[in-house]
Structure 1
Amino acid sequence: MAASGVSLTELFVEFLKIGFFMFGGGYGGIALMYKELVEIKKWVSEEEFLELLGVAESTPGPIAINSATWIGYSLGGLPGSIIATIGVVMPAYLVIMAIVTSLKPYMGSDAVKIMFRGINAAVVALILYALIKVARSVLIASGGALNLVAVAIFVTAFILLYVGDQHPIVVILVSAAVSLLLKYGLGI
Structure 2
Amino acid sequence: MVTLLELFIEFAKIGAIMFGGGYGGISLLYKELVEIKGWISDQEFVEILGVAESTPGPIAINSATWIGYKLGGIPGSLLATLGVITVPYFVIMAIVLSLYPYMEHPVVRTAFRGINAAVVALILYALISVSRTVLLEKNTGMINFVALGIFLIAFIILYVLKQHPFVSIVISAGLSLALKFLFGI
TM-score, normalised by the number of residues in structure 2: 0.97
- Give a deviation string over 1:46-97, Cα, whole Å, max 9, x none: 1111110111111111110010011111111111111100110012211111
Consecutive unaligned residues of structure 1, counting only runs of 5 or more, are none
With 123-132 and 99-108 compared, the bigger mean Cα shift is at 99-108
Aligned pair 1:175/2:155, yes or no?
no
Counterpart-to-counterpart distance in 1, 2:100 and 2:58: 25
Query: In the alignment, what sits opposite 1:129?
Result: 125
Query: In the alignment, what sits opposite 2:137?
Result: 141
- Equivalenced residues, count: 184
- SS for the counterpart of 2:38 is coil
Shift of 1:26: 0.6
The share of aligned pairs that are identical, in percent, is: 67
- Give a deviation string over 1:131-171, Cα, whole Å, max 9, x none: 00101110011301110010001111111111111111001
Counterpart-to-counterpart distance in 1, 2:129 and 2:148: 15
Query: In the alignment, what sits opposite 2:105?
Result: 109
Query: In the alignment, what sits opposite 1:87?
Result: 83
Consecutive unaligned residues of structure 2, counting only runs of 5 or more, are none
- Give a deviation string over 1:21-45, Cα, whole Å, max 9, x none: 1111111111001010011111111
Counterpart-to-counterpart distance in 2, 1:89 and 1:140: 33
- SS for the counterpart of 1:66 is helix
Q: Could you tell me which of 66, 71, 75 is aligned with 1:70?
A: 66
Counterpart-to-counterpart distance in 2, 1:22 and 1:80: 20
Aligned pair 1:155/2:152, yes or no?
yes
Query: In the alignment, what sits opposite 2:35?
Result: 39
**What amino acid sits opposite 1:153 in the alignment?**
I
Counterpart-to-counterpart distance in 2, 1:42 and 1:55: 20
Query: In the alignment, what sits opposite 1:26?
Result: 22
Counterpart-to-counterpart distance in 2, 1:158 and 1:104: 37
Counterpart-to-counterpart distance in 1, 2:73 and 2:147: 32
Q: Could you tell me which of 158, 163, 178 is aligned with 1:166?
A: 163
**What amino acid sits opposite 2:74 in the alignment?**
L
**What amino acid sits opposite 1:182 in the alignment?**
L
Runs ≥4 residues deviating over 2 A: none
RMSD, aligned CA: 0.8
Counterpart-to-counterpart distance in 1, 2:44 and 2:158: 26
